[in-house]
């Protein structure tokens, strides 16, 4: 791998930037790998990265049915934060945030992480109480969190309408200053470049159509590019988790829904942080290109179609204009949908499945992007050691049998 | 946006309805007699198919009655609408 640096930039400027090497190879699949990862999104690539970096396992293939990072990795709204209520989630997401903070240097690839602060608004007395409780819980877990009064909210984010006369006035907000956004495509590209350099095969346009089992053990995958044998098979397929688990006869507590997002025309810098509101229901930030990037809740029905109904984005727009009257005449440029795998407790499943040799990292629902490096880190540990790391031990499939759910639906300030 | 044919009110906009998820999940008649795993299967595990899906909908802002829909989760096409208790149409 050729390292990026100011000298590399100067050297390539002399040759008019015609000699930059491709970021990754396009290898044909080998007949057998030690680990096959199904899904070439951020989480799958991060899993491959930490398998190679932390555990020395490089005989790995990442199978992607489409193009790399073309699923939810390229479709999310790039919000990163770790201010979850429960201890289990706080530890997992904070571990991820700490990895984010060093990841650009680690990968020698600029992920454009911008820790500009995540503001979660409270519009009701109940939300005020829950917000203060969550900020206190975060601080007890060593996560930065502050409670802001409406005046402090106005100072921090001046374009918000903090007038008391609106239907849902802003009564306060939690602020995580270390939260922010990153460039989602760069995450896929930077991780792909790093894993390819370590010898991992990234195989695109390779759809898994079946999981072969022998004597109760998963031994390989049938794909659109032929059969590939593997000692260990890891499903990291987001919206298609249920489909892949069903190939091995495993039922999951997951339902797939469309989550829609949209971007506006680009404008000069106007919004300096990420703003989330669960009651009025929208979350929005401004990308480095100047577009407002916004999203809200899932469509109510199950879908694999990567699109949803218009009234859902209409509701997001109404919420945006309620919170930011200044945006009322902005034009929206594009909208799209991603298929999110929602668990009943809004927490992921990261661990072994009941079939020997089969592992699952899924159920991230609407909030997986922020966890990309941490998710890959704990999943790589689980695959390499054949047991979960203490950080992901509470996130096993059997919690739905034992009842030890990690209920983050309302508690995390997640806008579903 | 879906156009859903309520069995009592006729075709109406999706905004009048709420989706109630997978249909034909039967509560175990004697919860005390089954294992935790079977109870978890009833409570949490879902088919979540890519293709034809049987699901419950309620006409929340209309007649407020529940009914079943057979719908494709790939194309969103509604393949059949049938009332509670009616035989399941073939996918």
- Per-residue pLDDT tens digits for A17-36: 999 999 999 999 999 999 99
* A261 and A338 in a common domain: yes
Q: Is residue A110 part of a domain?
A: no
What pLDDT sits at residue A325?
A: 96
* A336 and A199 in a common domain: no
A381: closest CA of chain B, how far (Å): 27
* A336 and A260 in a common domain: yes
- Per-residue pLDDT tens digits for A61-93: 999 999 999 999 999 999 999 999 999 999 999
Q: Is residue A96 part of a domain?
A: no
Return the SS3 of B9: coil
Return the SS3 of B86: coil
What percent of chain B shows pLDDT beyond 90? 97
B49: closest CA of chain A, how far (Å): 7
Q: At what angle do helices A372-385 and A87-107 cross, to 10 degrees?
A: 100
* A265 and A155 in a common domain: yes
In this structure, chain A runs to a length of: 416
* A305 and A325 in a common domain: yes
Domain boundary among A301, A317, A342: A342
Angle at A321 between CA A318 and CA A324, to 5 degrees: 150
Q: What is the Rg, in whole angstroms, of the alpha carbon atoms belonging to chain B?
A: 15
Q: Chain B within 8 Å of A277 (Cβ-Cβ)?
A: no
A374: closest CA of chain B, how far (Å): 26
Whether A256 has a pLDDT exceeding 80, the answer reads: yes
Q: Chain B within 8 Å of A210 (Cβ-Cβ)?
A: no
Report the distance separating Cα A42 and Cα A368, nearest Å. Answer: 9
Q: Enter the pTM of the model.
A: 0.96
Reported as a pLDDT band with limits 50, 70 and 90, residue A2 is confident
Whether B91 has a pLDDT exceeding 80, the answer reads: no
What percent of chain A shows pLDDT beyond 70? 98
Whether A413 has a pLDDT exceeding 60, the answer reads: no
Report the distance separating Cα A171 and Cα A403, nearest Å. Answer: 35
- The boundaries of the domain holding residue A364 are 25-78+185-254+345-411
Report the distance separating Cα B72 and Cα B91, nearest Å. Answer: 9
Interface test with A, best of B17, B31, B48 (most A CBs within 10 A): B48
What mean pLDDT comes out for the span A113-122?
97
* A284 and A262 in a common domain: yes
Inspect the interface and report whether the beta carbons of A402 and B19 lie closer than 8 Å: no
Of B37, B45, B53, the CB nearest to A253: B45
* A308 and A382 in a common domain: no
Q: Which residue of B has its CA nearest to A305?
A: B74
Averaged pLDDT score across all residues of chain B: 96
What's the CATH code of the domain at A199?
3.50.50.60
What pLDDT sits at residue A129?
A: 95
What pLDDT sits at residue A1?
A: 82
Q: Is residue A287 part of a domain?
A: yes
Q: Chain B within 8 Å of A253 (Cβ-Cβ)?
A: yes
Q: Is residue A355 part of a domain?
A: yes
* A404 and A263 in a common domain: no
* A261 and A135 in a common domain: yes
Q: Which residues of B touch A (CB under 8 A)?
A: 1-2, 14-15, 18-19, 21-22, 36-37, 39-41, 43-50, 53, 55, 71, 73-76
* A279 and A383 in a common domain: no
Q: Is residue A88 part of a domain?
A: no
What mean pLDDT comes out for the span A189-194?
98
Q: Chain B within 8 Å of A405 (Cβ-Cβ)?
A: no
Q: Is residue A222 part of a domain?
A: yes
What's the CATH code of the domain at A270?
3.30.9.10
Q: Is residue A107 part of a domain?
A: no
Looking from the CA of A176 toward its CB, the CA atoms found within 13 Å total 33
CATH architecture, domain defined by B3-26+37-83: 2-Layer Sandwich (3.30)
Whether A123 has a pLDDT exceeding 90, the answer reads: yes
A31: closest CA of chain B, how far (Å): 28
Looking at the structure of chain A, the number of domains it has is: 2
Domain boundary among A306, A327, A342: A342
Whether B62 has a pLDDT exceeding 70, the answer reads: yes
Domain boundary among A342, A365, A392: A342
User: Residue A358, Cβ neighbours under 10 Å: how many?
Assistant: 22
Averaged pLDDT score across all residues of chain A: 96
* A267 and A246 in a common domain: no
Q: Is residue A105 part of a domain?
A: no
- Per-residue pLDDT tens digits for B44-56: 999 999 999 999 9
What pLDDT sits at residue B90?
A: 86
* A263 and A159 in a common domain: yes
Whether B15 has a pLDDT exceeding 50, the answer reads: yes
Q: Which residue of B has its CA nearest to A241?
A: B48
Inspect the interface and report whether the beta carbons of B48 and A401 lie closer than 8 Å: no
Q: Which residues contact A13 (CB under 8 A, 6 or more apart)?
A: none
Residue B20 corresponds to which tokens in the numbers above? 């109630």
Inspect the interface and report whether the beta carbons of B21 and A305 lie closer than 8 Å: no
Q: Chain B within 8 Å of A301 (Cβ-Cβ)?
A: yes
Q: Which residues of A touch B50 (CB under 8 A)?
A: 240, 243, 304
Q: Which residues of B touch A309 (CB under 8 A)?
A: 1-2, 14
Answer for the pair A325, A161: CB distance below 8 angstroms, yes or no: yes
What pLDDT sits at residue A410?
A: 60
Answer for the pair A192, A68: CB distance below 8 angstroms, yes or no: yes
């Amino acid at each position: 791998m050729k390292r990026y640096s100011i000298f590399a930039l100067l050297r390539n400027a002399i040759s008019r930037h015609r000699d930059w090497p491709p970021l990754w190879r396009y290898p044909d699949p080998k007949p057998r790998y030690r680990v096959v990862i199904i899904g070439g999104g951020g989480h799958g690539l991060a899993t491959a990265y930490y398998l190679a970096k932390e555990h020395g396992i490089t005989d790995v293939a990442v199978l992607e049915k489409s193009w790399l990072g073309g699923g939810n990795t390229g479709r999310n709204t790039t919000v990163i934060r770790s201010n979850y209520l429960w201890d289990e989630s706080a530890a997992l997401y904070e571990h991820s945030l700490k990895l984010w903070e060093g990841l650009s240097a680690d990968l020698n690839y600029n992920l454009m992480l911008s820790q500009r602060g995540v503001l979660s608004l409270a519009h009701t007395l109940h939300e005020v109480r829950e917000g203060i409780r969550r900020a206190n819980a975060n601080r007890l877990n060593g996560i930065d969190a502050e409670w802001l009064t409406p005046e402090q909210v106005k100072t921090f984010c001046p374009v918000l309408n903090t007038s008391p006369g609106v239907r849902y006035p802003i009564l306060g907000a939690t602020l995580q200053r270390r939260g922010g956004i990153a460039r989602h495509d760069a995450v896929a590209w930077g991780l792909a470049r790093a894993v390819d350099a370590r010898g991992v095969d990234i195989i695109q346009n390779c759809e898994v159509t079946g999981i072969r089992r022998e004597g109760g053990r998963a031994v390989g995958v049938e794909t659109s590019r032929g059969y590939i044998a593997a000692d260990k098979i890891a499903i990291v397929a987001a919206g298609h988790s249920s489909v892949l688990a069903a190939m091995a006869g495993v039922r999951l507590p997951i339902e797939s829904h469309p989550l829609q997002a949209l971007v506006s025309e680009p404008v000069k810098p106007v919004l300096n942080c990420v703003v989330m509101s669960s009651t009025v229901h929208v979350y929005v930030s401004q990308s480095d290109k100047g577009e407002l990037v916004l999203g809200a809740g899932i469509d109510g029905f199950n879908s694999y179609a990567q699109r949803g109904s218009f009234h859902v984005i209409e509701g997001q727009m109404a919420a945006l204009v309620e919170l930011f009257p200044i945006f009322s005449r902005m034009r929206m440029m594009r909208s799209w949908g991603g298929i999110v795998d929602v668990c009943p407790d809004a927490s992921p499943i990261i661990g072994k499945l009941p079939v020997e040799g089969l592992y699952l990292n899924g159920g991230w629902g609407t909030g997986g992007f922020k966890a990309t490096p941490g998710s890959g880190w704990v999943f790589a540990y689980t695959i390499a050691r054949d047991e979960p790391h203490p950080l992901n031990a509470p996130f096993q499939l059997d919690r739905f049998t034992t009842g030890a759910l990690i209920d983050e639906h309302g508690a995390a300030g997640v806008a579903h | 946006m879906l156009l859903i044919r309520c069995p009592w009110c006729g075709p109406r906009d999706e905004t009048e309805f709420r989706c109630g998820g997978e249909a034909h999940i039967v509560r175990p008649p004697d919860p005390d007699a089954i294992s935790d795993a079977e109870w978890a299967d009833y409570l949490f595990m879902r088919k979540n198919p890519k293709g034809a899906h049987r699901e419950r909908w309620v006409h929340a802002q209309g007649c407020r009655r529940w009914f079943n829909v057979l719908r494709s989760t790939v194309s969103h096409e509604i393949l059949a609408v049938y009332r509670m208790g009616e035989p399941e149409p073939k996918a």
